[in-house]
Amino acid sequence: MKSVLSCTGTLLVSLLFCFGLQAATPNLVVYTYDSFTSDWGPGPKVKAAFEAQCLCTLELVGLSDGVAMLNRIKLEGDNSRADILLGLDTNLTAEARSSGLFARHDLSLPVSALPDPWQDDLFLPYDFGYFAFVYNKEKLANPPTSLRQLVENSNGPTLLIQDPRTSTPGLGLLLWMKKVFGEGSDRAWAQLSPRIVTVSKGWSEAYGLFLKGEADMVLSYTTSPAYHLIAEQDSRFAAAHFAEGHYQQIEVAGMVRTSQQKQLARAFLEFMISEDFQKIIPTTNWMYPAITGADVVPAEFSQLIDPSPALLLDETIVARQRKGWVDDWLEVMSR
Amino acid sequence: MTMSRAMPASLVLAILALLVLSPMAGLLHLSALPGYEAVDPRFWENAYLRRVVFFSLWQALLSTLLSVLPAILVARAFAMQPQLPLRRLLLGLFALPLVVPAVVVVMAVVSVYGSNGWLPLGRSLYGINGILLAHVFFNLPLAVRLLLPQWQAIPQHHWQLGEQLGMNTWQRFRFIEWPMLRESVPGVSLLIFMLCLTSFAVVLTLGGGPRSTTVEVAIYQSLRFDFDPAQAVVLALLQLGLCMLVAMLTLKLQRMPAVEIALSIAYRHRALRLRWFDLGIILLATLYVGMPLTSLLIDALRGPLGQTLGDLRLWQALANTLFIGLSAALLSVTAGWFLLQYSASLAEQGHSRRARLVDLAGSIVYVVPPLVIGTGMFVLLAPHVDVFDWVYPIVIAINALMGLPFVIRCLGPAMRQNHARYHRLCQALALRGWHRFRHLEWPLLRRPLGLAIALVAVLAMGDLGVIALFGSTQSATLALMIYQQLGAYLVAQASVTAVLLLLLCLGVFALLERCIGGSRDAKN
């Protein structure tokens, strides 16, 4: 009985101590997407690394994706608990900008790895990647060498893609086609359509079906083969290099205007573009880090294709046209 | 007596209305603010939307027919074979498909019918074929579970009478079994219709493309991609309206059989020739349900078992899953109990139409997408409370709401028969309240009650939706974990987690059904 009492006492004291500590250290709230916070994403490592230097608690809140984060903060408005939003991409930044919910970061990328110079006073990139069609080298000997070839060869490989309404790569392919075919993109989609095995809700479904051998190629990232190389020592997978170039996805973070701890939030953004954060990215988020540095990128990444020239549409054009383009796509694909 | 039953039931109905309508009102209010689009009254002129509505109804109707009609045969075969070896295990297996997260079902269906599968269908899998295969996989076993108890409600002397009159199998079905089924089949069909109408990831991924878009997808699009709350509410109401129409139709078909006082209820022993027929049917159904589940098991056994199972967070997720599932089941069954008590007493007094409307009100909330309810609740709550503290209560409430139609289907017919048989007796004996529950309702209703609780618990355990919606700093549930693993290239780990979820559900199902349903359940 005595030992139970003393145990309870110790527990109470240590609990009180914990609460005391918590009250003393500030809490930085970061809204991000679910796969960032998951046990296999960058989240746990980022949290440990930042907390080791900030004397604060980093609270990572996982939402389903960038769109959900932006909707969420718009709904919360001035009452939001968030200090940082991490995980928007350049297709969402125009909308995020016009919401007026973000504050200037007053930072610059030290040694940018991005193909184009980064100028944005609200958002800072933390990683980027290129969309690509991934295939199994043992099964597909002669992959197409350009997007045009993929579209025009009616005997070409079968494809798995994602829906632009529900998935980031899906929207990426839509913009890629727009960038390459311009006004002719509807016709190009119509040509491609018979070889599309299915259009999935998210990346996971399409990639899972691809690994089960349901199609020759899957819409993914140029960095996907790096996962198989590094985590599975499997070199069968490759991304097809397309002559027109590959469409980019740049993932960014921004500071919320109503944040009560701008200094700490800025410290986090600074940490985000430092090597400590950046070297976590390649093997957890499977994207390119935003800065260049001695040991930021693992050696296996050099075996990946060179995706240049990098393609990107202006964020304001995307924001204005996205809905119309998706409606056109639905029309063509429903025929 | 009806008054005292009307009170708690009205409270439940009021809470239901509040849970469903207030979020929609919240969203509509939001859309009136500057920066949002107002309701477009001409939305029906949109050809795309009309196609979506047509496709949703068509695929749901086909899926329902293909699930329910064979399920009648299968349930009948099970009912006629009470001594079948492994019967209990097979029926436990039939409770599983419902809990498998949609993305896992897609993978399992592809393992069996994909181009490298055991029964390859090739490209033709993608389209209506794939949708139907997956929906029947989900719903045929459910229908079997829900219909099977109907055979037990057939009094022994009906069979004896049938024998004396020299009825053949068809006549027996037509005059003895069908009258009992007419109470259940329309309701079970409606439930399955609702499940298929609101199907999302299965339809999108196995449907082959935007040709196969359902209203549910359109709602998701308007609330997430376009962030147009008004449009989302309009579409949600449209879906509710469509379902209401179908519900009215099924109500017309529904007939409540007269309830007789009969104490001995037993199974028929059948002729040997028919026994083989029953066994064949059971074998086919088991193969159909078992193959995709087996493919999951094989994937899991090939996966990194030790590494995945050694992860402490997996067990944390398991505890969360269990907590959410059991809480939701308890809440759902409590709410359902009061609703059904009321509708049973209405039916007993001859207001059978009103009784069915009460049941319907409890069921139909299912078709309002959790995304709409969740987002609406968020709009209402966020200005006043810290939503993060409310994640679990909200998740449990929404899951309980989604479980209500299952409770009504499992418990409704038994409750009504029970009420019709014993209500007068109870009144004569002044048996009411706790004593009535303890001495009459519990012993007689524990079997369907056990099935209801078990079903809602596993359903909530397999649910992914709401936690992901609200975003959480707490640890994941198993279903969410499966999605996270798939999103991180960890296909093999995901299949281990999926099988763990399945085993957990199987265990919980068996335990709840046995503890609450009682050991007599070995025969059910």
Residue A168: closest CA among chain B residues belongs to which residue?
Answer: B225
Q: Are strands A159-162 and A246-256 parallel, antiparallel or unpaired?
A: unpaired
Q: Pick A211's closest partner by Cβ from B211, B311, B491.
A: B491
What is the reported pLDDT for A77? 82
Query: Across the interface, do A165 and B486 touch by the CB < 8 Å criterion?
Result: no
Q: What type of residue sits at position B465? A: G
Top pLDDT among A280 and B273 is at A280
Do A72 and A206 share a structural domain?
A: no
Do A168 and A293 share a structural domain?
A: no
Do A218 and A322 share a structural domain?
A: yes
The Cα–Cα gap between A213 and A215 comes to 6
Which pTM does this prediction carry?
0.87
What is the reported pLDDT for B407? 93
Q: Count A/B contacts: CB-CB distance under 8 Å.
A: 155
Q: Which residues of B touch A321 (CB under 8 A)?
A: none
The Cα–Cα gap between B41 and B497 comes to 46
Do A215 and A103 share a structural domain?
A: no
Do A325 and A277 share a structural domain?
A: no
Do A189 and A237 share a structural domain?
A: yes
First to last CA, chain B: 33
What is the reported pLDDT for B77? 92
Its domain, for residue A139, covers: 130-248+307-334
CB-based contact A325:A178 (threshold 8 Å): yes
Which residues does B185 contact at the CB level (< 8 Å), separation at least 6? B68, B72, B147, B253
CATH number at residue B23: 1.10.3720.10
Residue A333: closest CA among chain B residues belongs to which residue?
Answer: B210
Q: Give the CA dihedral B117, B122, B126, B129, nearest 10 degrees.
A: -80
> What is the pLDDT of chain A when averaged over all its residues?
90
Query: Low-confidence residues of chain B, pLDDT below 70?
Result: 1-4, 35, 38-45, 256-274, 464-475, 519-524
Do A192 and A170 share a structural domain?
A: yes
Do A261 and A215 share a structural domain?
A: no
Q: How many domains does chain A have?
A: 2
Residue of B205, B235, B378 to mutate for A, most A C-beta atoms under 10 A: B205
Distance from CA of B84 to the nearest CA of A (A): 37
Q: CA-CA distances (angstroms) from residue B76 to A97, A181, B147, B160?
A: 62, 59, 9, 18
What is the reported pLDDT for A17? 47
Distance from CA of B481 to the nearest CA of A (A): 8
What is the reported pLDDT for B289? 94
- Give the number of other CB atoms < 10 A from CB of residue B228: 22
Q: How many domains does chain B have?
A: 1
Q: Which residues of A touch B485 (CB under 8 A)?
A: 38, 40
Q: CA-CA distances (angstroms) from residue A140 to A136, A156, A216, A220?
A: 6, 10, 7, 16
Joined together, the tokens standing for residue B454 give 């078990």
Q: Which residues of B touch A163 (CB under 8 A)?
A: 204, 210
Distance from CA of B320 to the nearest CA of A (A): 16
CATH number at residue A81: 3.40.190.10
Do A312 and A171 share a structural domain?
A: yes
Say if residue A14's pLDDT is above 50.
Answer: no
Asked casually if ipTM beats, i.e. exceeds, 0.95, the reply is no
Distance from CA of A187 to the nearest CA of B (A): 17
If you count them, how many residues does chain A have?
A: 335
Do A253 and A240 share a structural domain?
A: no
Q: What's the pLDDT tens digit per position in B368-417?
A: 888 888 888 888 888 888 777 788 888 898 889 989 999 998 898 888 88
Q: What's the pLDDT tens digit per position in B256-269?
A: 666 665 555 555 55
Say if residue A22's pLDDT is above 60.
Answer: no
What is the reported pLDDT for B263? 53
Its domain, for residue B170, covers: 2-523
Q: What's the pLDDT tens digit per position in A69-80?
A: 898 888 888 888
What is the reported pLDDT for A324? 92
Q: Which residues of B touch A333 (CB under 8 A)?
A: 209-211
Top pLDDT among B123 and A112 is at A112
Do A177 and A323 share a structural domain?
A: yes
Residue B114: closest CA among chain A residues belongs to which residue?
Answer: A214
Do A115 and A12 share a structural domain?
A: yes
Q: Which residues of A touch B471 (CB under 8 A)?
A: 31, 34, 61-64, 68, 72
Residue B371: closest CA among chain A residues belongs to which residue?
Answer: A68
